[in-house]
Chain A
């Protein structure tokens, strides 16, 4: 009888141990920060994701492969530029990997699918590119922060530049989809001069010769365009080839960047862009980021990367503030709201909707430092100081 009792006791002890193992393991897991980073890693747009992932890795190098003093694991996910795939990847990160933060996202439509999924699960969403107006306004959330901008702000800055220069008769071109129209809306919020024509082309179009013939026949004073990615490369080459470069000055947003410059080289020269960041921005964090990025990857970084680098630094600052207690979400929200980290754009503050209040600059593509170098983007002047987005009133969050 006694023997049997002992036996039972041992078995129950073993069973208890087995049951406890996952709990113990989980406790050990808690000592590790898990970040799910979603971006586009395949297809033609995969080049943006590559820059973002490289910048995340560089940030981790700079932090000694620790975030907030804790071990860190970053799980990368590929959204394939599809909202449904992005949501699926986010679900997997939340349920299977039990991440503490989801970060990344290039595309606004993907962001609108992923952000609610993540914040509803009580997890932080740190956007490092897309800034759809819904998230700045009605859909703002205390668990959502972004290290980029709201979509309208960059074209707003360009609208102001062209308004201030008193340019009349502007010809506007953009791809025919939501972001294309948003960019033009943002531009028109500050540009009040005459618009000769507003042309929307097919998304993903590669040949613009027909539109350029129309443009020339209208004889505008200047041209404003939004052509991201491969569309921008085609457009710039054809604009130069058609001999329009010297005829009509070209102003753009998200058309010329460090990804497209190596592909267009001289065809980019003289291009005007507005942006919140540039590789030549003079502050210690940025100089370190740019020089080490060039050293490690052999190319110029691009704003997508700078934002992703900042995203990891923001997470680091929050985990550090709560001394590694990842269950203290209130504490981490409070810490993030201070934006207490060395950002590549320099010191900035958060607005109540968790979008940065920051400067916007006018950039120009100029010849590189030595002959034979690719053109580089150079800051010409500050367009907006401490600029806020236009959707803050629709956001109910107060702090």
Chain B
């Protein structure tokens, strides 16, 4: 196993990790502060990808497409919160699961009606495609490096907002004791709407960055959503720090597992046994990890309320 390959796979893991983090951040905040299980979080990922792709094609500018896509997803998130989810906060989790599952179907069919069922064309602008020679023997796609940079920057920004600003203070307070925050005269409804909207925009950011390299089609959000739930369970519900750690752990474990489990098994098992067990084990790893974390630390690695 050569060192360059291991490094490259580590970068791949980091890239998947920051992508998962962008999704997990919004989901975990909504879960932690509003106590709302939002299965439709993947829909914002899809909305972001569709809007950015469409705006990019209409305006011819990738940057403008990204900005309009983000703003659009923010608006959609706020509207969904105002119209559909506001009434659900006091209901139990099963009602929320049912309602937000309904939203998944609604958004998937809406996209199919507006853009058709076929996957739409999405592409990377010329200045972001191509490779960067990081050092001899390791050429890495520029676009994926950009994803890593954006993801880390957003993580830093989120940390700043949550740890150093008044809004962040309210968010942290809301996560540890909602009733007390409301009793102190904070407009908790407005806080909810804002948090939900920005959570949706973060998911939209992940979606619009994934669009050109994955596939932009109805239902694209559900493919990543399961892994995102694994991330917040591992990281601890309601905690941004937990979401970041969980996302990086899941990204690394999944990527390195897919790359190296089978070759490693082949050194101890027969090749055919490794061929059968390798892919199965690699795709189970993150769930095994989740099970272990749940058994040893049911509250997650970095719980919000400690």
Contact for B117 among A44, A233, A264, CB less than 8 A: A44
CA distance A213 to B224 in the complex (A): 21
CB contacts (< 8 Å) of B224 on chain A: these are 206
- Find the A residue at minimum CB distance from B219: A44
B279 on the A face (CB < 8 A): yes
CA distance A300 to B24 in the complex (A): 39
Contact B119 A46 (CB under 8 A): no
- Find the A residue at minimum CB distance from B109: A42
Contact B141 A241 (CB under 8 A): yes
Interface of A is mostly: helix
Which of B1-55 touch A at CB < 8 Å? 2, 5, 8-9, 12-13, 15-16
Known contacts being A176-B280, A263-B119, is A43 close to B212, with CB within 8 Å? no
Contact B215 A214 (CB under 8 A): no
A36-71 vs B: 1/0 string, CB under 8 Å? 000000111011001000000000000000000000
A265 on the B face (CB < 8 A): yes
Contact B213 A213 (CB under 8 A): no
B239 on the A face (CB < 8 A): no
Contact A213 B12 (CB under 8 A): yes
B144 on the A face (CB < 8 A): yes
Known contacts being A46-B112, A47-B118, A209-B144, is A263 close to B215, with CB within 8 Å? yes
- Total contacting residues, chain A, CB less than 8 A: 35
A370 on the B face (CB < 8 A): no
B143 on the A face (CB < 8 A): yes
Contact A200 B279 (CB under 8 A): yes
A204 on the B face (CB < 8 A): yes
- Total contacting residues, chain B, CB less than 8 A: 49
Known contacts being A176-B280, A209-B12, is A230 close to B215, with CB within 8 Å? yes
CA distance A117 to B256 in the complex (A): 45
Contact B118 A259 (CB under 8 A): yes
CB contacts (< 8 Å) of B297 on chain A: these are none
CB contacts (< 8 Å) of A241 on chain B: these are 124, 129, 141, 143, 213
B96-109 vs A: 1/0 string, CB under 8 Å? 00000000000011
In the assembled complex, how far is the CB of residue B223 from the closest CB belonging to chain A, in whole angstroms?
5
Contact B119 A260 (CB under 8 A): yes
Contact for A210 among B121, B220, B258, B283, CB less than 8 A: B258
- Find the A residue at minimum CB distance from B256: A210
B124-138 vs A: 1/0 string, CB under 8 Å? 100001110000000
- Find the B residue at minimum CB distance from A209: B12
CA distance A46 to B219 in the complex (A): 11
CB contacts (< 8 Å) of B2 on chain A: these are 217
CA distance A238 to B123 in the complex (A): 11
A242 on the B face (CB < 8 A): yes
A237 on the B face (CB < 8 A): yes
B170-189 vs A: 1/0 string, CB under 8 Å? 00000000000000000000
- Find the B residue at minimum CB distance from A241: B141
A201 on the B face (CB < 8 A): yes
CB contacts (< 8 Å) of A230 on chain B: these are 119, 215, 217, 220
Contact B214 A234 (CB under 8 A): yes
CB contacts (< 8 Å) of B118 on chain A: these are 47, 259, 262-263
B73 on the A face (CB < 8 A): no
In the assembled complex, how far is the CB of residue A316 from the closest CB belonging to chain B, in whole angstroms?
28
Contact B120 A263 (CB under 8 A): yes
Known contacts being A210-B258, A213-B5, A214-B5, is A238 close to B121, with CB within 8 Å? no
A134 on the B face (CB < 8 A): no
CB contacts (< 8 Å) of A264 on chain B: these are 121
CB contacts (< 8 Å) of B13 on chain A: these are 210
B246 on the A face (CB < 8 A): no
CA distance A294 to B47 in the complex (A): 29
A243 on the B face (CB < 8 A): yes
| 9 more CB-based (< 8 A) A-B contacts, given A211-B258, A213-B12, A243-B130 | A46-B117, A47-B119, A50-B117, A200-B279, A202-B282, A202-B283, A207-B16, A213-B9, A214-B259
Cβ contacts A to B, 6 pairs, < 8 Å? A43-B219, A209-B16, A209-B255, A230-B217, A243-B139, A264-B121
Enumerate chain B interface residues (CB-CB to A < 8 A). 2, 5, 8-9, 12-13, 15-16, 108-109, 112, 116-124, 129-131, 139, 141, 143-144, 210, 212-220, 223-224, 255-256, 258-259, 262, 275, 279-280, 282-283
Can you list the 8 inter-chain pairs with the closest CB atoms, starting with the nearest?
A47-B117, A263-B119, A44-B219, A233-B215, A230-B215, A200-B279, A47-B118, A206-B214
